[in-house]
Structure 1
Amino acid sequence: MTTKIVPVASAHPAFDQVAALFDDYRAHYGHPSSPESTRSWLHDQLAQHRFSAAAAIQADHVCGFITATIMPASLRLGTAWSIRDLYVAPHHRRSGIANALLQHIIYNARAAGAHRVSLQTETDNIPALTLYTEVGFQPVTGLELLNLTLDPTHQEPGETP
Structure 2
Amino acid sequence: MTLDIRRATPADLDLVAPLFDTYRVFYGKPSDPTLARDFIRARMTHEQSVILLALADGKAAGFTQLYPAFSSVSATHVWILNDLLVLPEARRGGVARALLTAAADFARADGALRLELETDHDNHTAQALYHAMGWTLYDGTLRYRLPLR
TM-score by length of 1: 0.88
Q: Which residue of 2 aligns with 1:4?
A: 4
Structure 1 stretches of 4+ with a deviation exceeding 3 A read none
Instruction: Summarize deviations over 1:39-60 as a string: whole Å, max 9, x none.
Output: 0111112211221101001232
How much does 1:15 deviate? 2.0
Q: Which residue of 2 aligns with 1:154?
A: none
Equivalent AA in structure 1 for residue 105 of structure 2: Y
Instruction: Summarize deviations over 1:36-82 as a string: whole Å, max 9, x none.
Output: 11101111122112211010012321100000012122222211111
Q: Which residue of 2 aligns with 1:27?
A: 25
1:145 aligns with 2:143: yes
TM-score by length of 2: 0.95
Where does 1:62-141 land on structure 2 (aligned, <5 Å)?
Answer: 62-141=60-139
Identity of aligned pairs, percent? 34
How much does 1:132 deviate? 0.6
Aligned residues: 149
Instruction: Summarize deviations over 1:134-160 as a string: whole Å, max 9, x none.
Output: 111111101111011112xxxxxxxxx
Aligned equivalents of 2:93, 2:57: Cα separation in 1: 15
Max Rg structure: 1
Instruction: Give the unaligned 5+ runs of structure 2.
Output: none
